[in-house]
Amino acid sequence: MRDSDTVDKFRRFFQGNEDAVGFAMMLIHVCDVWDDLFDKDCEVRDPDLHNAFMFALCAMPRNRFYRQHMDELMPLIELGVVNWLTANRFEASKDRKSLEIANVIRHSIGDVFIHMARLIGGMQWGIEVAPELKLLVQNDTLEEYLEK
């Protein structure tokens, strides 16, 4: 999800706010690397690992959009992490209902992006772009997820 099409979509969702776009792309990178390290389903290259730590420790805390809205964004990020950890526990159970829930909540970090759009464009804008953001963040079907 780190391609130019995603950047263009975030530009539209965030109404051209480049600080918001930059923050979103860094958050995606950090989350993707964390997930790859946890799942061990693909190799994490050294540059990706180094970038993830640099983003998390240096660049994200300096990002103007994040600094302006940190008090509202941090609880959503924390909840996204809790949901991702819960999804990992559900995945280990192999129970069908748990897997169905895991498939949804493992993408909860995307709620941060919906809230960012709301902060930038107001409640109606957040509501308008929420479906597209959900589809962008959760790009696999339940069947594809269960095959993994």
Instruction: Dump pLDDT digits (tens) for 6-19.
Output: 999 999 999 999 99
**Cβ contacts of 122-127, under 8 Å, gap ≥ 24:** 125/15
Q: Tell me the average pLDDT across 81-110.
A: 94
pLDDT surpassing 80 at residue 1: no
In degrees and rounded to multiples of 5, residue 2 shows phi and psi of -110, 25
Report how many helices (DSSP H) and strands (DSSP E) the chain contains, helices first.
Answer: 9, 0
pTM: 0.93
Which conformational region is residue 102 in: left (phi greater than 0), alpha (psi within -120 to 50 degrees), or beta?
alpha
SS3 at position 76: helix
* Tens-digit pLDDT profile for residues 28-55: 999 999 999 998 888 999 999 999 999 9
